[in-house]
Amino acid sequence: MSRFNLLLLVFLLFACQKELDLKIDNVKQLSFEGDNGEAYLSDDQTRLVFQSKRSGNDCDKLFTINVDGSNLEEFELKDGAFTCAYFSLKDEYMFFSSTMKDGPECPEIYKHPNPRKYIWPLRNYEIYRWDGTSIKQLTNYPGYNAETTTHPKEKRVIFTSMRDGDIDLYSMDYDGKNLMRITSEYGYDGGAFYSPDGNQIVWRAWYPSNEDEKNKWANNLEKKFIEAVPLDIYIANSDGTNKIRLTENGATNWSPSWHPDGKHIIFSSNMDDWREDYNAYGSNFELYLINIKSKKITRLTENKTFDSFPVFSKDGKKIIFSSNRDAENPRNTNIFIADIVDK
């Protein structure tokens, strides 16, 4: 190999390993009422769909809004509780989860004896497909079917379900057919997103490793809730093979999604405010970026409140996230959009 070719190879290897050095700028608040979360972009990048508990509702309903904050609209279907809405390719459909088949009222949920302990109740959600005029139920397994996100190139979705007794990841076609189980290790798997090329997935997981932890998880499954535990970020091929653990810091690392370059993952974590007696209230979640190859972690937000559910726009120039940084209503979670720029 000539000296020139050797230098070129070294340069290319260095370029491939170059770390992103980003910051969040020009933060704009989009929602101002109630508790809001999980805002996701339409395929054409002009609108957001999110869930919100507001106006006297006892459970979450769905809303859409333009990315500039205009044209806020409530979803016309309102029976039951709603969560995890996501647009399809070409915005042909919207996928979401709801308890609507159990009636119009908000469902009762498990309440932990310790009122300060943070838990995530698992409602009896089913997944639906909506085309603007008609609705199709895609799942029919009592327990929990939610967290649906779509493949960037194929008419396929990935979601979380309790259908086999544990909480695992599954994928299926837009019509609910060709179901595939993605994960099978005992423990919690959830919140999966496809990579920009559709070849990989990222998700959050916790796998109990001793009898006490296994008993804790069994209790969660029986009572249908998830309590705050150390969560880690994993990636794998889209069929679940070649699983790689990205974080291992003992904290709650969750809500991961991909940077458009396919080489970095953004996620939320309390790694800088982890508490051994953690009950979640008061623990500070910030946004972080991790390089998949080097596993270098960069902190993106610096404040004293909750930041989570981050997703990038397709061009990587915008970020949408949920936060309690509203100065007038610091107890409410709201939707924000911001620029992503180089430092």
Per-residue pLDDT of the chain (343 residues; tens, 9 = 90+): 555 555 554 445 445 556 787 888 999 999 999 999 999 999 999 999 999 999 878 899 999 999 999 999 999 999 999 999 999 999 999 999 999 999 999 888 777 777 666 778 899 999 999 999 999 999 999 889 999 999 999 999 999 999 999 999 999 999 999 999 999 999 999 999 999 999 999 999 999 999 999 999 999 999 999 888 889 999 999 999 999 999 999 999 999 999 999 999 999 999 987 665 544 444 789 999 999 999 999 999 988 889 999 999 999 999 999 999 987 888 899 999 999 998 7
User: For 185, left (φ over 0), alpha (ψ -120 to 50), or beta?
Assistant: beta
Domain annotation covers residue 6: no
Domain annotation covers residue 128: yes
Domain annotation covers residue 297: yes
| Amino acid code (one letter) for 139 | T
Domain annotation covers residue 14: no
| Amino acid code (one letter) for 187 | G
Domain annotation covers residue 12: no
CATH number at residue 264: 2.120.10.30
User: Which of 34, 291, 258 lies closest to 149 in space, CA to CA?
Assistant: 258
Domain annotation covers residue 10: no
Quickly list H helices, the chain.
Answer: 3-16, 211-223
| Amino acid code (one letter) for 280 | A
Domain annotation covers residue 256: yes
Cα–Cα distance, 25 to 73 (Å, whole number)? 27
C-beta atoms surrounding 219 within 10 Å = 11
Chain centroid to CA 270: how far?
16
Domain annotation covers residue 147: yes
pTM greater than 0.85 (yes/no): yes
Domain region containing 302 = 20-342
Is residue 320 within 8 Å of residue 335, measured between CB atoms? yes
State how many domains the chain has.
Answer: 1
Strand, coil or helix: what is 100? helix
| Amino acid code (one letter) for 183 | T
